[in-house]
Structure 1
Amino acid sequence: MIIDVREAYRRALDDFGALVHRIPPEQWHNPTPCVDWDVRALVNHVVSENLWAPELLGGRTAAEVGDTFEGDLLGDDPLKAFDTSATAAVQAAYEEGALTRLVRLSFGDVPGGEYVTELFADALIHTWDLARAIGADERLDPELVEACAAWFAGAEAGYRQAGVIGEQQPTPSDTDAQTRLLASWGRRG
């Protein structure tokens, strides 16, 4: 990855958050490219991921955290819920030792750096999902697209096997990097 994964993660969350702050009240129930998720459910998912980060990077196991972050985490103030969770997640990623510490996920143990990379990729792809859902500019930061694509080239098979991404979408050979990345995640750009 060309840029520090923590910086990539922060920037992806900043871009996602900028869109969250632009969601008008009437669009919170718009459908998204994520099957079964409307805008509110998508934002809730990212908030949940953000809340998990400090716990897991701090040494707790997925089993210890349990179902703490299930259900509606947005409450009456989705903007505050997102902002607070994003700040905590980024701070946790920058804690000393966070990238080298073993993170105990439900499917196995991974280095903290890998976990933060997964969080970065999730935030980046969901930024596009949110932009599409609310009719905002769908262009992602090209540097983040490049960083994500470089990492995902080695991770895609595992993600596809686990069933956590959609089916690879066909793309013409002259397709831009963002469209290729989104297609690899099962998105139709």
Structure 2
Amino acid sequence: MDVRDLDRRAGAALGEIIMQVRPEHLSLPTPCPDWTVRGLLRHIVSENEGFAAAAINGSAPVQTWNGGRLGDNPAGAYRRSNVAVADAFADGGALDRLMEVREYGSFPRRIALTFHHLDCVVHAWDLARAIGIPYSPPRDLVEAALDLARRIPDTDSARGPGAAFERSVKVSGTASEFDQLLGLLGRNPEWTV
């Protein structure tokens, strides 16, 4: 399994959701606490820019990780930043080279890209829920993201306000793998606007 292919496909699925965001959606709440649709889009573009810069340079300044600008065309801003990520990771022979991911530490680029893939899969759901459209990611994208989500410690020191993820929420024992993924990352699969 090539993580670059998984990430490209997850980014494309997220892009399809973003293409459906309309100006009237931008102020809607999302399953991400404290983020409207506009705030989440800005976060997604910023993360893409940070991942791309860090993959190329080994690290990126905090302003890059937080500076995403949407302008008047959030879908265009996303598209440009998503292409930058794909281009930055295109040199497959360098996937074991270390890169710094925000304040979370240095990881081989291959592992860092799994973080990005996870974000794409879950943020696509966040946006789809916020704007009221269906989203059902392919099983292999969910399985890869779920594998990573199961490894993220569910402790107060690793999750909660200011951390990358909220504390996990309980889901049914018969929940789908995707709903399990959402629950592990602190999202209620039944969330609605």
Tell me, yes or no, whether TM beats 0.5.
yes
- After TM superposition, list the pairs within 5 Å mapping 1:23-172 onto structure 2: 23-62=21-60, 65-71=61-67, 73-105=69-101, 106-154=103-151, 156-157=152-153, 161-163=157-159, 164-172=164-172
After TM superposition, the score normalised by the length of structure 2 is 0.88
Retained in 1: the 8 A contact 2:10–2:117? yes
Aligned mates of 1:50, 1:116 — CA distance in 2: 11
* Match status 1:173 vs 2:169: no
Name the structure with the higher helix share.
1
CA contact (8 A) 1:92 1:98 kept: no
Alignment RMSD: 1.8
What is the letter of the counterpart of residue 148 of structure 2? W
Is contact 1:57-1:98 (8 Å) kept?
Answer: no
State the number of aligned residues.
184
Query: Helix, strand or coil for the counterpart of 1:29?
Result: coil
Q: Do the aligned partners of residues 98 and 159 (structure 1) sit closer, same or farther apart at CA in structure 2, a change above 3 Å counting?
A: farther
Query: In structure 1, what residue type is equivalent to 2:72?
Result: D
Change (3 A) 1:27 1:169: same
- Distance in 1 (CA, whole Å) between partners of 2:170 and 2:52 is 37
Normalised by the length of structure 1, the TM-score is 0.89
Q: How many percent of aligned residue pairs carry the same amino acid?
A: 33
Instruction: Using the TM superposition, give the Cα deviation of residue 111 of structure 1 relative to its aligned residue in structure 2, in angstroms.
Output: 0.7
SS in 1 for 2:20: coil
Structure 1 equivalent of residue 13 of structure 2 = 15
